[in-house]
Amino acid sequence: MQKYNDTTYAILGILTTHCHSGYEIKQFIDNSLNHFWKISYGQIYPTLKRLEEEGLATIQTSSQEGKPDRKEYFLTEKGKEVLKGWLEQPLKQLPVERNEVLLKLFFGRHQTKKQSILLLEDYKQKLEKLYQAYEAIEEGIACHSNNHSDAKYWMFTLDYGKRVTEAAIAWCEATIKEL
C-alpha cells in the first residue's frame, strides 16, 4: 500500500468538511488547525493534484466569470479508505518539538541574567497571546457550529493547546523567579 505523509492526510481530512478547493483548505487551516498543523499553498496545490492522479479524489471544475476556474475536490471511496486507514494507526514515536527559547536558555551561561529574563518575559507574553487566540477560536466554534458533529473533536484539540500553553506560562514565571 502506498504511503503518504501526514500533510497529505490532513488535506484528505479537510476534504471531508465543507472545504473542497485549495483556497478554502488554506483558509480552514489558518483559522482552525493552525496551532498544530500549518500548511502552505506550495504544499496544498501539488498535493491536491497528486490526490486526483492517484484516484483518492475527483475534480469538479466550475468556471466563474472574471475569475480563474474554481476546482473542487471530492474524496473517492478509495480516498476515504486511505484516510480511515491512517486514523487507525497509533503514532510510532513522539515528535520532538523544536523550541528556540529552550535552546537559547540551554546556553544561558553565556548570557547576562537580564537577557535571560527578557527572553522568558517575551516568550511568556507570546504564549499569553496564543492562549487568548485559543479562547477566541473556542468561542467561535461554540457559537457557529454547536451542533456540528466535528465541533466536539475540534474543542478537544483546543483544550490541549490551552492546557499546554498554560503549563508553559507557569514555567516562564517560575523560571524567571529562579534565575
Q: Which residues bind DNA (CB under 7 A)?
A: 5-7, 21-24, 27, 38-43, 45-46, 48-49, 64-71, 98
Residue 63 or 96: the one with the smaller Cβ distance to its own copies is 96
Give which of DNA, its own copies, none residue 136 binds (C-beta under 5 to 8 Å, depending on kind): none
Which partner from the list its own copies, DNA, none does 123 bind, CB cut-off 5 to 8 Å by kind?
A: its own copies
- Please name the amino acid found at residue 115: Q
Q: Is 24 a residue that touches its own copies (CB under 8 A)?
A: no
In this structure, the strands spanning 57-64 and 67-75 are antiparallel
Q: Kindly report the length of the chain.
A: 179
Q: Give 24-33's long-range contacts (Cβ < 8 A, gap of 24+).
A: 31/137, 31/140, 32/137, 32/154, 33/157
Binding mask 94-133 for its own copies (x = CB under 8 A): xxxxxxxxxxxxxxxxxx---x--xx--xx--xx--x---
**What, of its own copies, DNA, none, does residue 64 touch, CB below 5 to 8 Å by kind?**
DNA
Of 54, 69, 68, residue with least CA distance to 12: 54
How far is the C-alpha of 169 from the C-alpha of 131, rounded, in Å?
10
75 binds, among DNA, its own copies, none (CB under 5 to 8 A by kind): none
What are the distances in angstroms from CA 161 to CA 8, 49, 99, 131, 153? 23, 32, 16, 8, 13
Applying CB under 8 A, among 2, 61, 93, 147 the residue interacting with its own copies is 93
Minimum CB–partner distance for residue 46 and DNA (Å): 5
